[in-house]
Structures are given as C-alpha cells and as structure tokens.
A = this chain, B = another copy of it.
Amino acid sequence: MTGPFAAASAVHRRDETTWAGEIAPGWDIGGNADGGYTLAIAARAAAEASGRPDPVTVTGHYLAPGRPGPVQIEARVLRRGRRFSTVAATLASAGVPVVAVLGSFAELGGYAGPERVDAAPPDLPPPEDCYLIEATETFPPPFMGRVELRLHPDELPFTGPTGPPRVSGWFRFPGGEPIDPLGLLVAVDAFPPTVFRAGLPVAWTPTLELTAHVRARPEPGWLRCAFTTRFITGGFLEEDGEVWDASGRLVAQSRQLALIPRG
C-alpha cells in the first residue's frame, strides 16, 4: 500500500472484530465524507477480517454524515466458504454509525470459463480534451483534489441531456497511485450526480445505499467510467455505474439509490 488513498483508508486491527481508521481531511463533499471512500475504509477492514483481499460485491447503507476524524470499524465474518467469505461491518465515528456494510470477499482472477460481453466502454475524448474538475475550498469541493476526474465535455453538470441523465469521464488517483479493487469503490462514487443533468430543481441527492460489484483487478492507467439514471420516481433515483480499465475490460459495476430531498 502506497499513496494518499491507501494512507487515507488504512485500518489497524485492535482485536478480533475491531479496527481503527480515520476519515482523513479533504475527502468530504460539503462536510460529508464521500460515500465510496467511507465504504472503502469499512471494506478494507472487512477484507482483513475475511482473510481475502478483494471485495466482489459490497453494499453500504449510509446512516449519518462522515466527519473527518478517527473511526472504528466492527467487522464480523458471517461465513467463510471455499471461494467467498461474507462479512458484516459497521463504521462508526464517536460511537455514531456512519455506514453499515455487507460484503462478500474473494481472490479475483484465475478464471477460465465462458465469457460474453454485450456492452462497450464509454466513448470518451482523450483525457486532455476532457474537463478537469479542479478542487476549491468550497465548490467544487476539496475531494476533487483527492481524485482526478476528467468529464466528457458533452456531459458537464447543469447542461441538459437529450437521453437519460448521464455523466462519463476518466478517473485515476493523483500522482499515479495504483487503483486496487478497494480504490474502485471510490471510483464508483466520485463523479458529479447524474441528476445535475436532468434539468430538475434538485441540488443534492444523498445516497441511501450503494452496491458495487468488482469483476477484476484493474490494469494500471486511467479508468473509463459512465453513470446513468433512468428512473427518478417516488423521491428516489438510481445511478448505475460502469468502470472499465485501460485494457478495455469491465472491472466494476455499481448501482446506488439516492434520495431526492423533500423541498
């Protein structure tokens, strides 16, 4: 583990079921830690508990804003199987639960069997022709300095879509820090909300739940990411994500359920 993300998501085992970590400064968006980041901290402890390195499917339910400072993760192995271990974890800050997690962990790779892909990576202009979101002290938030996003210039927030609200672009960690499967949990929740492109009077959309599936460890290099929303109904919206690595392979899928706050 090297680099700012690895350091900011590090955990230290205290006993059989307890880990200590930290919500590092600057990983928040308006005072609430990025949901993919807090999920990654909790998943790192859960992976250690499981004895298996890779989150295959991880779900987080967001219970309270994550403020910078020390956190404690409780992780309990529910089943240790031949290929997968399933773990329930809760990340808490000063005794207040921030995110509850249920995940299954394994060692990815080494599979040789039938494959079929009916999709393609998003078509993006080269990174240098995409829109770099630069961090500020307010908006865009400091978090945008913790990751490097380059948005498709035709899909910038607050411009109307012709199809379903969609945001796509390139993702990497600054300084060439490698992206492992835990880093993918950040990638799936780092982009501006699709709803900002829906032409609706919606200023923010807190995440209720986020599920990420990791299919493979990414090859080094930029990730191509795309997020789409098809259903804004009943006070909810889903955001479906795909993350493809530099070799053109899908490495992660995500879906989150977010809330449209009542006016």
Binding site for B on A (CB under 8 A): 56-57, 59, 61, 63-64, 78-79, 81, 84, 86, 88, 90, 97, 100-104, 108-109, 111, 113-119, 163-165, 198, 200-202, 208-209, 211, 213, 215-216, 229-236, 238, 249-250, 253, 255, 257, 260, 262-263
List 23 A-B residue pairs with CB atoms under 8 Å apart, sorted by A's residue number.
A59-B102, A61-B102, A61-B103, A78-B100, A104-B209, A108-B234, A109-B234, A111-B235, A111-B262, A113-B235, A113-B263, A114-B201, A116-B165, A116-B200, A119-B230, A211-B211, A213-B257, A215-B231, A215-B236, A231-B250, A231-B253, A233-B249, A253-B255
What residues of B have a CB within 8 angstroms of the CB of A88 in the complex? 88, 100, 102
B234 near A111 with CB under 8 A, answer: yes
**How far, in whole Å, are A78 and B97 apart by their CA atoms in the complex?**
8
What residues of B have a CB within 8 angstroms of the CB of A229 in the complex? 118
What residues of B have a CB within 8 angstroms of the CB of A78 in the complex? 61, 63, 90, 97, 100
**How far, in whole Å, are A133 and B104 apart by their CA atoms in the complex?**
33
What residues of B have a CB within 8 angstroms of the CB of A249 in the complex? 233
A198 near B116 with CB under 8 A, answer: yes
* A208 touches which of B57, B209, B230 (Cβ 8 Å): B57
